[in-house]
Amino acid sequence: MSDPLYRKEILRLAADAHGAGRLPQPDLIGHAHNPTCGDRISIGLTVDDAGRVATFAHETKACVLTQASASILGERLKGAALADIEALANAVAAMLVSNAESPPSPFDSYVAFQGAVTHRNRHCCVLLPIEAVLDAFEQEPNQAA
């Protein structure tokens, strides 16, 4: 496949599906939906006493871009605080909108999405898992049902 939108790295990340599944007792649950294409993601988090992500799981019914983005979070989100996730959202959005540099480590794997820069309608797909995590942090702790 020669389309830069679906580079081998994107396909590998999606296939690896780091963090796929459901946590038995999450502290927080978040959701995000793209009504344009129908992509949906639900995430569960456990957080430590400092408010940092201890565990992350996702159930993703979405395109390969959303799946790959969720897989990056599944592999790299542990230890992140809300401020880190907000910074990640801003860095990924800047990379997609203005072709800025990819986010720094541990989220530097988002560089794989640089092929999506010229596909504005796909930016939401890349950001959807991050939005679900931000949604989870907006919820009341221990209200995950």
Tens digit of pLDDT for each residue in 19-62?
Answer: 999 999 999 999 999 998 899 999 999 999 999 999 999 999 99
Q: Which fold has domain 4-138?
A: Sufe protein. Chain: A (3.90.1010)
Domain regions of the chain by residue span: 4-138
| Model confidence at 145: pLDDT above 80 | no
Tens digit of pLDDT for each residue in 125-144?
Answer: 999 999 999 999 998 665 44
Distance CA 9, CA 26 (A): 30
b (16+ CB within 10 A) / e for 23-60: beebbbbbebbbeebebbbbbbbbbeeeeebebbbbbb
Looking at residue 1, its pLDDT comes to 45
Whose tokens are 């999450």? That residue is 26
**What is the percentage of the chain residues whose pLDDT exceeds 70?**
92
